[in-house]
Chains A and B, each alone.
Chain A
Amino acid sequence: MATPSIASGVAGPTAESVFGPARRRIGEKAIAFALFCAAATSVVITVGIVVSLTGETLAFFADDAVTASGFLTDGQWTPLFSDPQFGIRPLVQGTLIISGIALIVAIPLGIGTAAFLSEYASPRVRKAVKPTLELLAGVPTVVFGYFALTFFTPSVLQGFLGMDVSVFNGLAGGIIVGVLIVPTVASVAEDAMSAVPQSLREGAYGLGASRRQVTVRVVVPAALSGITAGVVLGASRAVGETMVVLIAAGQVPTTSLDPRNPMETMTAFIGATGKGDVPTGSTGYKAIFAVGFALFLMTLILNMISIRFVRRYRQVYE
């Protein structure tokens, strides 16, 4: 009786009989390629955004009524008037003032919440606070707009605080946008604080520091790049926020610095103009794209900065 052995040349199982015909490998390649195409659509979307914005923006500047220097320096923005003026400064200024107010609100609230959740809260409190913050983040912004216009301005600013503000004003818009971005700032900042190694805290406790000292002098400085990332991301959301400012801040492009007056942001202009049926090719239609382009650039820069900072804290501790 011959002992079958590999060397004797008896046909054992081949790669083909075990793994199926080779065409399956081709199938694998095809699947991988199909998945790659799906992932690549995100790049196509970005290209679509950039190309659509750039094309109409160039057309906007080619328009006789528009000059590049006037766009950057002119203090008036009246694109739908019969004698239109195209100075983007009032819109940029409105955006910066409202985002500034939002950050003044969101920075202490966001960082305070993050420090509380990361350093002080018991697991039970965390379990109650975190989903509520998620709920806050999940409320549609149009609802916050309603709240700013029908409750916050009349009942809090005019009523409770007795301030002399218009029905539509930048202050209410800014404060409510600030509350809206608290979950964004808090969640990124808390991630960063939780990533601070326990050994740093223990070292400080060993030296006799109290919990407050550990939080303020050890955890916050060690998590600073992550906290910065959260704040920058919050700023980017504030700049891009549309509904609250469209509803509550008014639609008056102005160079006034007083947030008690109505003002218009870049996003509010886009929303207010897009609402009406602007004919394709009109200067008003092109102005949407020019302002959109400026908005896209601003948020893109903020996002890149934020991604940088996140990477930095990940590199240090992970």
Chain B
Amino acid sequence: MTSAEASARPSSEVLGVPPAARTLRDRSFILLLGVLTSIALIVLAVLLIDTAIDGIPQLSISFLTSFPSAFPAKAGIESAITGTLWLMAVVAFVIVPLGVASALYLEEFADGTRWWNRTIEVNIQNLAAVPSIVYGILGLAYIVRGPLSLGRTVLAGGLTLALVVLPVVIITGREALRAVPPSIKEGALALGATRWQAIWRQILPASIPGIATGVILSISRAIGETAPLILVGAATFVAFNPTGLDSPFTALPLQIFSWISQPNDEFRMLAAAAIIVLLVILVILNAVAIRLRNRYQQRW
């Protein structure tokens, strides 16, 4: 087709329908996108409201300070809360050094053209998308039983959860390191610092807010994880607080799951109350992370 022929075509054929109809279609398109965007948000709102209606009447001090019980009226979540706190401590203890060190290596030391470094990178991307229940299987086979044989303990549960979120820590840590401008490092090197001195005294301090945000978000993901703990075999009926790393334990999401699995409606209400407690902990963690990010993040 020549350009003369093209220009001879009516505008409706080139641009579609005439302008009046077009604005109508344009408007309905905006409406459609608005509706599609709001559906997920509405589901979230309904979920929160429904849980609040079921759970808030069950919340009380004695709910927070009692142990699980066969009687709904007496049951509480103290051992689940302390178990979750223990798990968080183990997860933090593992992922901070391991995650930061891995991120430092990949950002500052690794030569991206070498096959082993590319392998590590692709591998981390893949690990981030492995279903958490697969980590549970690994935990069951190698941490609870098998080579480590830690049994169904706080340490085994915490290690398994740490593996689940480690890729996220590494990925967010790398982003935080990358956000520090190269001129900072170059300045340090020009003044005679060694590579490690430049990293340890300049890059790392500057990237701490970003790294901390990533760590907190990872921990908050870890404490909501249920599937790996089911396999690692945390007990659901634990009427005592963990006494150490080698202690049996339960955790909030597990306690919730165990109550949901009861056919009795009263237990399901307890599950709703425990969900509220879990969500409150998550919101607090996220608020801290967002504050850290806004307050200490430097603009270069």
Interface residues of A (CB under 8 A from B): 18-19, 24-25, 27-28, 31-32, 34-36, 38-43, 45-46, 48-49, 52-53, 56, 108-109, 111-113, 115-117, 120, 129, 132-133, 135-136, 138-147, 149-151, 179, 182-183, 208-213, 215-216, 233, 236-237, 239-243, 246-247, 267, 270-271, 274-275, 277, 280, 288-289, 292, 295-296, 299-300, 302-304, 306-307
Chain B residues lying within 8 Å of A132, measured Cβ to Cβ, are 41, 44
CB distance from B163 to the nearest CB of A (A): 6
Interface residues of B in 171-223 (CB under 8 A from A): 192, 194-196, 217, 220-221, 223
Interface residues of B (CB under 8 A from A): 11, 15-16, 22-23, 25-26, 29-30, 32-37, 39-41, 43-44, 46-47, 50-51, 54, 97-98, 101-102, 104-106, 109-110, 119-120, 122-127, 129-138, 140-142, 145-146, 163, 166-167, 170, 192, 194-196, 217, 220-221, 223-227, 230-231, 233, 253, 256-257, 260-261, 268, 271-272, 275, 278-279, 282, 286
A295 CA to B132 CA in the complex, in Å?
11
- Whether the Cβ atoms of A277 and B132 lie closer than 8 Å is no
CB distance from A239 to the nearest CB of B (A): 7
- Of all chain A residues, the one with the shortest Cβ separation from B236 is A275
- Of all chain A residues, the one with the shortest Cβ separation from B39 is A109
Known contacts A116-B36, A150-B272; 19 additional CB pairs below 8 A are A28-B195, A38-B98, A38-B101, A45-B138, A52-B141, A146-B275, A147-B47, A210-B26, A213-B16, A241-B131, A242-B133, A247-B257, A267-B131, A270-B231, A274-B137, A288-B137, A295-B131, A303-B130, A307-B126
Main secondary structure of the interface of A (DSSP, over half): helix
Main secondary structure of the interface of B (DSSP, over half): helix
Chain A residues lying within 8 Å of B44, measured Cβ to Cβ, are 132, 135-136, 139
CB distance from A30 to the nearest CB of B (A): 10
Given contacts A31-B196, A140-B278, A48 and B131 within 8 Å (CB-CB)? no
- Whether the Cβ atoms of A39 and B120 lie closer than 8 Å is yes
- Whether the Cβ atoms of A45 and B109 lie closer than 8 Å is no
- Whether the Cβ atoms of A210 and B22 lie closer than 8 Å is yes
Given contacts A48-B138, A52-B137, A240-B131, A129 and B37 within 8 Å (CB-CB)? yes
12 interchain pairs (CB within 8 A)?
Answer: A34-B101, A35-B104, A53-B137, A112-B36, A139-B224, A141-B226, A146-B260, A212-B26, A212-B30, A237-B129, A240-B129, A240-B130
Chain A residues lying within 8 Å of B142, measured Cβ to Cβ, are 48, 52
Given contacts A140-B278, A150-B54, A295-B131, A18 and B36 within 8 Å (CB-CB)? no
- Whether the Cβ atoms of B260 and A18 lie closer than 8 Å is no
A300: contacting residue among B23, B25, B126, B253, CB under 8 A: B126
- Whether the Cβ atoms of A274 and B233 lie closer than 8 Å is yes
Q: List 6 tightest A-B contacts by C-beta distance, closest first.
A: A240-B131, A112-B36, A140-B224, A38-B101, A35-B105, A274-B231
A251 CA to B226 CA in the complex, in Å?
17
Chain A residues lying within 8 Å of B261, measured Cβ to Cβ, are 247
- Whether the Cβ atoms of B220 and A139 lie closer than 8 Å is no
Chain A residues lying within 8 Å of B104, measured Cβ to Cβ, are 35
Given contacts A145-B260, A299-B130, A275 and B279 within 8 Å (CB-CB)? no
A146 CA to B35 CA in the complex, in Å?
25
